[in-house]
Amino acid sequence: MNTRRNFLKNITVSALALPLLSTYKSTGLEGISTSLYQGPVLRVAIMGLGSYGTRVAEAMQSCKRAKLVGVISGTPSKVSDWQKKYNIPEKNCYNYDNFDLIKDNPDIDAVYVITPNSLHHDQVIRVAKAGKHAICEKPMGINAKEAQEMIDACKQANVKLLVGYRMHFEANTLEIIRMRKAGDFGKIMFFQGLCGFRIGDPTQWRLNKQLAGGGSMMDIGIYAINGARYLIGEEPIWVTAQETKTDHVKFKEGVDETIQFQLGFPSGAVASCLSTYNMNYLDRFFLNGEKGFAELNPSTGYGPIKGRTNKGELNIPHVTHQTVQMEEMAGIILDGKSPVVPVDGEEALKDSKIIDAIYLATKTNQKVPLKI
């Protein structure tokens, strides 16, 4: 793949395909329905109107329980364009300086923060202080300290903090988790996660340490970390890591190009993962157990995700990930629903602790113990 943001365009599920989804009880797709919905709706403002914010907005047009009602941006022309495209009233439009005023807007329930990584911390805390639920793209913060402060702020304000872990609702992923829990693979021995692409524009924010907080690990490597945890079903207890950098101009100090890392788990299972901004065609998870295996290839792209196990292909119909995510998050916020794999701040804090440990391991060449 050229970039994880340039996967195949989302496939719109036809009305004929939707009934098939009911056969997969663990997919987390129960919220997608062709029937007329008349219950409560989560009213969402999107902060950050870039490429991914646009993808989420488009996906939300198919949601029944989540609705785009507001925007927050530092670019007036984008605000104007979104107002026209999504019929957003002027009173629900804000910029980065005045969005604290959402505290007085009863038409907005939650804000989805989709801005560069280093901005998440302060913006989520401001959202919480305004009394609105916060949805934040990953990584939630640029380190574990920031992540904990964001959790604390949302708890103090008595609002939910959710993180954009769209793969936690993806049907193939959830089916493999179900099979692992059922013992179909036996004792889990090994996980491999390969996540990478060759990044383009050297001036983009993802290659700016002050905005990104790092390099490939903060953007694509986090998928392998998270995938190892939810597919193995344990929390790691140690990490080792090695960094390789071949282009010191593009990947400046503090911006990692390629990191290989290994995780150890209490059961004895191990994970071997790679995160890179300098190799294409890396989007694969592999899980090995004493009785079987599972593979996702592609594993984290925008879809379709392809899954297979020692029992055969999964062949689960594709539904746009962001549509499912927002429907399920509406259920979490409105109904207190508990997802199969958590998407709350505490889940993101665990990934942040592991990322901190990976960076430490690359600097020290030592095995770093984990307690998350």
Any idea which residues carry the catalytic annotation? 138, 223
User: What's the Rg (C-alpha) of the chain?
Assistant: 20
328: left (phi over 0), alpha (psi -120 to 50) or beta: alpha
Residue 136's contacts (CB-CB under 8 Å, 6 or more residues apart) are 112, 113, 120, 124, 150, 161, 162, 163, 164, 348
Residue 228 CA, distance from chain mean position: 14
DSSP conformation class of 33? -
Residues 168, 343 contacting (CB under 8 angstroms): yes
In angstroms, the CA 220 to CA 371 distance is: 23
- Nearest partner of 229 among 188, 260, 171, 179, judged by Cα: 188
Q: Is the peptide bond before 139 cis (omega within 30 degrees of 0)?
A: yes
Tell me how many helices (H) and strands (E) the chain has: 10, 15
